[in-house]
């Protein structure tokens, strides 16, 4: 039976123009991990919807959005740099990257402390206490997750998925127990940060002990990671600014409604990240001409897959919200509309190409143009049409960003041929 499946996958390669054995092995674990992660996130969302008032949940999401922006200081681009450099056999930079991320991450904690002082002086003890907790944990919240990037660079998707699944399940259980005990937002944040940092630290140490990284060092890794981090600054800001705009202009309750509207489409779209992780090591190894041979085929297949997924979600969304989130029926219309943004998954290969081939200048320009466009259009549309305007702006900005990356892909690949 195993040989039959193997032969079937090999025969399908002439139609898919892809290493189907690699996709089947890696894709199984990444997809399984995404399913478990989505299920855990869904269960947690049900808990939040039923145990926390809308206003409290809106405040919680606002704090996490600010924290998300402050993670800029933790050099998130280092994660992609690790995957890319490990895929080429250079594993010795892991410890150096860890130290670099710690040093820069302290700035995240310092900035959070400034927020805590600001809200304390403005007589808002809830937000002051929340940001004080974030001050302690922010320098470390994503630090030890570099083990995951390391494993993906080694194409060891099995252990990467296993460790992530265990972490997601454990963190979800801890948060649910916390919500059953208390509705205090600072304590919920404490449980959130502490659980994720602790679990990632355990699997970071496990990975080092199990896989013993070699001593080969690419001297460009740190520099490349910093470049990727800098290139992602506006992208990170634009990914969180929507929630901050809703909180300040429409209020905490509207932020809760918006968060539930985009939650499921974002989780579904998250499955595309599994494909991106599969592509990155392969694209890093291949020459540009080899990538160009199959990329158009991949884009077409992903587009039709996107249509199928979006259509199905639009049909079942009312049932999901009426059954599991009856407190958030207002989110149904916005969620179905936002689902259209998932169609941009078709152009994902061009995004991966820019990272795999270290197109730093193109990434800077792309991220900058996309982010500025997204921030401006969201600010204008939310003032124009409230939540509806924001959803429309998110859809337009997502397609605009994909087209920008596609443009840079074609320009870069054409320059390489000349």
Distance from the Cα of residue 136 to its chain's centroid: 23
Residue 94's pLDDT is: 82
Judge contact between 352 and 363, C-beta under 8 A. Answer: no
Would you place residue 377 in the very low, low, confident or very high pLDDT band (cuts 50, 70, 90)? very high
Could you tell me which residue, 150 or 13, shows the higher pLDDT? 150
Judged against a pLDDT cut of 70, whether residue 97 lies above it is answered with yes
Residue 180's pLDDT is: 96
pTM passes above 0.85: no
Name the residue with tokens 């974002």: 266
Neighbours of 189 (CB within 10 A): 22
pLDDT one-digit tens code per residue, 218-238: 888 888 888 888 878 888 998
Distance from the Cα of residue 287 to its chain's centroid: 27
Judged against a pLDDT cut of 80, whether residue 358 lies above it is answered with no
Judged against a pLDDT cut of 50, whether residue 16 lies above it is answered with no
Q: Tell me the average pLDDT of the chain.
A: 85
- Scored b (16 or more CB within 10 A) or e, 347-378 reads bbbbbbbbbbbbbbebbbebbebbbebbbebb
Q: Where do the DSSP E strands lie in 160-223? A: none
Judge contact between 17 and 298, C-beta under 8 A. Answer: yes
Average pLDDT for 338-344: 90
Average pLDDT for 389-401: 94
Residue 253's pLDDT is: 95
Judged against a pLDDT cut of 90, whether residue 413 lies above it is answered with no
Which tokens in the block code for residue 327? 């407190």
Judge contact between 338 and 262, C-beta under 8 A. Answer: yes
Q: Is 115 left (phi over 0), alpha (psi -120 to 50) or beta?
A: alpha
Count the residues in the chain.
418
Judge contact between 317 and 332, C-beta under 8 A. Answer: yes
Residue 1's pLDDT is: 52
**Residues with Cβ within 8 Å of residue 247, at least 6 apart in sequence:** 58, 61, 62, 65, 255
Residue 242's pLDDT is: 94
Distance CA 229, CA 232 (A): 5
Neighbours of 81 (CB within 10 A): 28
Average pLDDT for 265-287: 73
């Amino acid at each position: 039976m195993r040989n039959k499946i193997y032969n079937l996958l090999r025969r399908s390669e002439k139609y898919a123009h892809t290493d189907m054995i690699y996709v089947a092995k890696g894709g199984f674990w990444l997809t399984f991990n995404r399913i478990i992660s989505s299920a855990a996130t869904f269960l947690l969302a049900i808990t939040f919807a039923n145990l926390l008032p809308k206003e409290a949940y809106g405040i919680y999401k606002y704090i996490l959005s600010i924290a998300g922006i402050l993670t800029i200081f933790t050099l998130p681009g280092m994660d992609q740099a690790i995957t890319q450099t490990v895929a080429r056999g250079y594993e010795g930079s892991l410890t150096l990257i860890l130290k670099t991320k710690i040093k820069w991450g302290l700035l995240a904690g310092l900035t959070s402390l400034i927020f805590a002082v600001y809200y304390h002086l403005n007589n808002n003890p809830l937000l002051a206490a929340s940001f004080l907790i974030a001050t302690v944990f922010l320098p470390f919240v994503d630090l030890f997750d570099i083990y995951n990037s390391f494993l993906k660079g080694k194409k060891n998707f099995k252990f990467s998925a296993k460790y992530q699944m265990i972490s997601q399940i454990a963190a979800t259980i801890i948060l649910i127990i916390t919500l059953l005990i208390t509705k205090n937002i600072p304590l919920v944040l404490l449980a959130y940060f502490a659980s994720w940092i602790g679990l990632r630290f355990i699997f970071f140490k496990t990975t080092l002990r199990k896989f013993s990284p070699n001593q080969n060092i690419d001297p460009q890794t740190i520099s490349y990671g910093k470049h990727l981090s800098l290139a992602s600054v506006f992208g990170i800001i634009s990914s969180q600014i929507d929630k901050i705009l809703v909180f300040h202009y429409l209020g905490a309750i509207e932020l809760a409604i918006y968060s539930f509207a985009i939650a499921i489409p974002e989780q579904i779209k998250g499955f595309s990240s599994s494909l991106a992780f599969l592509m990155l090591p392969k694209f890093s190894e291949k020459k540009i001409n080899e990538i160009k041979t199959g990329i158009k085929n991949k884009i077409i297949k992903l587009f039709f897959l996107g249509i199928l997924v979006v259509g199905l979600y639009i049909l079942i969304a009312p049932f999901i919200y009426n059954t599991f989130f009856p407190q958030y029926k207002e989110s149904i219309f916005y969620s179905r509309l936002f689902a259209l943004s998932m169609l941009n998954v078709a152009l994902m290969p061009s995004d991966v190409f820019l990272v795999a081939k270290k197109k730093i200048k193109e990434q800077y320009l792309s991220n900058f143009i996309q982010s500025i466009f997204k921030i401006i259009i969201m600010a204008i549309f939310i003032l124009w049409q409230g939540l509806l305007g924001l959803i429309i702006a998110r859809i337009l900005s997502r397609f605009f960003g994909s087209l920008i990356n596609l443009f840079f892909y074609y320009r870069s690949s054409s320059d390489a041929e000349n």
